[in-house]
Amino acid sequence: MDTRTLPPLFVSHGSPMIALEPGATGAFFGRLGRTIDREFGRPRAIVAVSAHTATRQPVLLGAKRHETVHDFYGFPPALYELRYDAPGDPALAQDAAHLLEAAGVPAQAVDAGGLDHGIWTVLIHMWPEADIPVVPLSLVPFAPPSAQFAVGEALQPLADQGVLVLGTGSITHNLRLLSLRGRVEGVPEAPESAAFREWVHARATARDWDALFDYRAQAPHAALMHPTDEHWLPFYAPAGAGGREHVPVRLHGHVTFGVLGMDAYAFGPQAARLAGALQAAPVQA
């Protein structure tokens, strides 16, 4: 085993306002990036699957450079002034497409770019220098969790090449509940949110992939926590890249506004090492 193999990650990105108001999760993202740099070395590139870039089949955005996409509305002007323009990696986009095709997953790399807010509002805290090449990989929102997992399995070789496979979505995502309860920090977590989050943690720790693939039928309050599941599906690609045989590790468990879960998970043979390094890491750089 290569001890520098990067553990694939799933993170909950929350509201776009996390870019301006980091809170506990934004601070965690900063510590996560610094810990990866120190423990494994800075990633040579990132392949990022976001809830906010969707296509009918997997598409890798292989532009030489990516512009910041402000794909939201109704937020303070300062948020639209933030930029995270990062380099791309056209060769990696082609390599990843070939890995997917070889695994029987139709995919293509295209000369197009842009980082949606699910990607850049996370990376702006993890690596604010915006100097790591990023290759966005589109989500196929109607594909079942098992198919999302297979995408990650095909990308497993990238972790041994210094590439971070990153999924970004939300462990719970019901914006109607958020509106009904009000955006008030510090309120107790809704029991339904806690039950769903802890079910995921228990099934992941048990490596019960069959249950996780069937989460809509088996997880408590699944339909309430995810009226549509595009924000949860990015969990499965990094899980697949980590491999079935390794125990996922929850790196961060937090809830904003009582219903918006901000959990983060690491996968693969180095997940526990990353978790231990994070526990030992200082809160501030």
225 burial via Cβ count (<10 Å: 0-12, 13-18, 19+): buried
- Residue 2: its pLDDT value, please? 44
Query: What confidence tens digit (pLDDT) does each residue in 216-272 have?
Result: 999 999 999 999 999 999 999 999 999 999 999 999 999 998 889 999 999 999 999
Under 8 Å between Cβ of 8 and 241 = yes
Encoding tokens for residue 237? 């690609």
Domain locations along the chain: 9-276
Tell me the per-residue pLDDT of 31-74, one tens digit each, with 9 for 90 and over: 999 999 999 999 999 999 999 999 999 999 999 999 999 999 89
Distance CA 276, CA 195 (A): 26
- How, if at all, do strands 65-66 and 86-87 pair? antiparallel
Q: How confident is the model at residue 179 (pLDDT cuts 50, 70, 90)?
A: low
- Do the beta carbons of residue 155 and residue 247 sit within 8 Å? no
What architecture is domain 9-276?
3-Layer(aba) Sandwich (3.40)
Nearest by Cα to 37 from 4, 8, 13, 65: 4
- C-beta separation of 61 from 90 below 8 A: no
133-166 pLDDT per residue, tens: 999 999 999 999 999 999 999 999 998 899 999 9
Residues 96 and 74: beta-carbon distance below 8 Å? no
Mean pLDDT throughout 130-135? 98
pTM of this structure: 0.95
For the chain, what is the largest distance between any 2 Cα atoms, rounded to a whole number of angstroms?
A: 49
